[in-house]
Amino acid sequence: MHGAPPLPAQPQSCTPAASLLTRLGRWSVRQFTAALKPIGLKPRHLATLIELRNAPLPQQSLGEAVDVDAAQLVGLLNDLESDGLVHRRRDPEDRRRHIVEISDVGRERLAEADRALADVDARLMAGLTPEDRARFVTLLRFVAEHGGFEEECAGRSDVSPCVAAAEEDECGSL
């Protein structure tokens, strides 16, 4: 580790977190696409349904939640609505807004999807102990909620989860 290497100390490039995420993300998308095909959903459509699970949302908020811009969201919602999985209605308080709500059929589809997804997750974390799985999910969730995002993060001072043993609060209420 200290034998005067010929190259300039062979700098970083140690496959950092973001680099690993791009790779694992693509793997996940492929797995999701395959796992969801039998039930007629694509990853984005599912993500949209998930965000609508707890409450109806106007398209703007929904787009932010799913992380797609307004233009592509239109197409996703057209697909979902023509399959009867969601409904759009105008907001009486501001008639520019369309409130999107998941339907009962949509909830059933969501349940099917959950079963398929559980399998993907199982494969993904196959080699991890239950403790490490919990830690992993906790960290992913924290980073997804607090990470990066330019301005948003500027004035922030949230505290790292510091996952000691990754408590059992896995599926809390989310």
Nearer of residues 20 and 78 to a copy of itself, judged by Cβ: 20
Q: Which option in DNA, a copy of itself, none does residue 107 bind, with CB closer than 5 to 8 A by kind?
A: a copy of itself
Residue 13 binding a copy of itself, by CB under 8 A: yes
Residue ranges in 71-100 that form contacts with a copy of itself under rule CB under 8 A: none
Given a copy of itself, DNA, none, residue 133, with its beta carbon under 5 to 8 Å by kind, binds a copy of itself
Q: Is residue 144 at the binding interface for DNA, with CB under 7 A as the rule?
A: no
Cβ-Cβ contacts under 8 Å for 142 (sequence gap 6 or more): 160, 161
Q: In what order do the strands lie in the sheet with 57-58?
A: 57-58, 94-102, 86-91
Contact 62, 52 (CB under 8 A): yes
Task: Count Cα atoms within 13 angstroms, Cβ side, for 44.
Answer: 15
Q: Pattern 91-130, binding to DNA, x per CB under 7 A?
A: ---xxxxx--------------------------------
Binding of a copy of itself at residue 158 (CB under 8 A)? yes
102-128 burial: b if 16+ Cβ within 10 Å, else e: bbeebeebbeebeebbeebeeeeeeee
- CA 87, 39, 173, 68 torsion: positive or negative? negative
Please give the DSSP secondary-structure letter assigned to residue 93.
T
Q: Please report the DSSP string for 71-94 in residue order.
A: HHHHHHHHHHHHTTSEEEEEETTE
Does 30 interact with DNA (rule: CB under 7 A)?
yes
Instruction: Choose the one of DNA, a copy of itself, none that binds residue 125, judging by a C-beta under 5 to 8 angstroms depending on kind.
Output: a copy of itself
With binding defined as CB under 8 A, does residue 52 bind a copy of itself?
Answer: no
Which of 55, 67, 69, 75: binder of a copy of itself (CB under 8 A)?
Answer: 67
Residues binding DNA (CB under 7 A): 26, 30, 33, 42-44, 58-60, 63, 68-75, 77-78, 88, 94-98
